[in-house]
A and B are shown apart, each in its own frame.
Chain A
Amino acid sequence: MNNLILSNSIRFIVLVLLQVLIFNHIDLFGYLNPLIYIVWVFLFPIKKNKNLILFTSFLLGLSIDFFSDSGGINAAAMVFIAFIRLPILKAILRKSDFDYLLFNLRTISFDKIFLYIATLTVIHHFIVFSLEYFSLSDFTTIISNTFFTSIFTILISILGIQLFVKKTK
């Protein structure tokens, strides 16, 4: 249990630093910056009690906001995907009740993982860009930004999960 808390705290700090120091400055094609900190929601251990994930996701989003001067944009999007994570996972895995303790992303087949990550990423990015532009006249820009940044984020987060998450715990 202590081990779990320690590893998650380290992951929290590492994700904030990675996002703020490296991924906010990539500027691929001049404007694409992947938002890889949402890996936090993908990897957070699944429990019946959802309060902890909501609260920690809010904190993580707010930390990113502090560093990138963006109000509460990232916090709002993070809380939203943290809330809808479990229903989406249940719908994708088609199980009403699964093993909460032994949940590990690497043990599930790749296409299901891809669907799970892609859905959450697109929803998250859509909220982030809508709140950032904050006007209906920029709708096409919001959609195109969501689409291209999502591709980049999904690619990097799946690579990261494959490389750094152990198969058995």
Chain B
Amino acid sequence: MQQIIYFFRKFRNFLLFLLLEILAITFTIQYHSYHTSKFVNSANLLTGGFYTKINSINEFFLLKTENKLLIEENVRLKNLLDKKEINYSLENYQVIDSTKYFQKYEYLSAKVINNNFTKRNNTLTINKGTNQGLTSDLGVINSNGIIGVIKNVSSNYSTVLSILNSSSKINVRLKNSNHFGTLTWNGKTHTTTQLMDIPRQALIKIGDTIITGGKSAIFPEGINIGVIKDFNFENNQYQQINVLLFNDMSSIGYVQIVKNLQKNEQNQLEQNTTNE
């Protein structure tokens, strides 16, 4: 007994060091695995509130670019509306029966209060949480394209797993054909991401547009992502396809959160099918 107490006394520094180091490594491992709920994140009251305060100052300097984005989005939506009117004047004009029509997606707006894009695994913090109806695994987009998927939620803040993250894998497809692929990031620059798993039958060219695939229940189909910057075709396979993002990931102000109202239904059906 005496020996044990003596041992602990002699090595108490080293033991404390080991304890703290193991604790820190545990947090790190949790952070690297996508689906474990983690304790260290910026979606808590202190860090979230702090970032909100700072963001209200920074926001002032970004008003100009934010306005420009809004104008562009307005122009795009107005053009869409005008296209609709032509259809209305045609004879085969359809009335949507509101009792049979179900809304599939719901959009919520939120503000990015913290954004990083220089690390290997980047995350964003936004100023809405469970109180505003958010849960994890919702898509986050803005008018230029997709941004990421919500990871952790607290009552008033959430963290977003950016597409600039090693664990981010997003189902995408080519705009001009139905070949699907996965969007990943190799950690080099924040303007380009990598497209994987494109079948070799697909004919791609530099400048082809990439859009979301709509296979998963997170993003609606057809949101613009970027254009193909370059690629190499070796051994009858696409080795690396670089995609230049439409979005400037270094400056993101307001975002929209996509809530799929039929997500549970789709997931349940898919689960039942695989179980059979």
Contacts and interface: CB of A to CB of B under 8 A. Distances in A.
Interface of A: 21, 24, 27, 30-33, 50-51, 54-55, 58, 61-62, 65-73, 75-76, 79-80, 83, 131-134, 138, 141
Given A61-B24, A62-B40, A76-B24, A67 B32 contact: no
Contact of A67 (B24, B27, B42, B190): B42
Interface in B13-68: 13-14, 16-17, 20-21, 23-32, 38, 40-42, 44, 46-47, 50-51, 54
Contacts of B31: 69-73
Given A66-B40, A69-B159, A76 B28 contact: yes
Given A68-B116, A72-B25, A58 B20 contact: yes
Contacts of A75: 20, 23-24, 27
B154 interface: no
Contacts of B13: 50-51, 54, 83
A30 B27 contact: no
Nearest to B152: A69
Question: Which size bracket describes the interface of B in this complex?
Answer: 35 or more
The 10 nearest A-B residue pairs measured at CB: A71-B31, A72-B27, A76-B24, A72-B24, A75-B24, A69-B123, A71-B28, A31-B118, A72-B28, A58-B20
B119 interface: yes
30 contacts: A24-B116, A30-B118, A30-B189, A30-B190, A31-B118, A51-B16, A54-B16, A55-B20, A58-B20, A62-B40, A66-B44, A66-B47, A69-B40, A69-B116, A69-B125, A70-B31, A71-B32, A71-B40, A72-B24, A73-B28, A75-B20, A75-B23, A76-B24, A76-B25, A83-B13, A83-B14, A131-B25, A134-B28, A134-B166, A138-B120
B12 interface: yes
A138 B187 contact: yes
Given A79-B24, A141-B187, A51 B12 contact: yes
Contacts, number: 103
Given A55-B16, A131-B28, A71 B47 contact: no
Nearest to B13: A50
Interface of B: 12-14, 16-17, 20-21, 23-32, 38, 40-42, 44, 46-47, 50-51, 54, 114, 116, 118-121, 123, 125, 159, 166, 187, 189-190, 250
Given A30-B118, A51-B12, A79-B21, 4 more contacts: A50-B13, A55-B16, A72-B31, A134-B32
Nearest to B46: A66
Contacts of A76: 21, 24-25, 28
B42 A58 contact: no
A122 B192 CA distance: 29
A72 B16 CA distance: 16
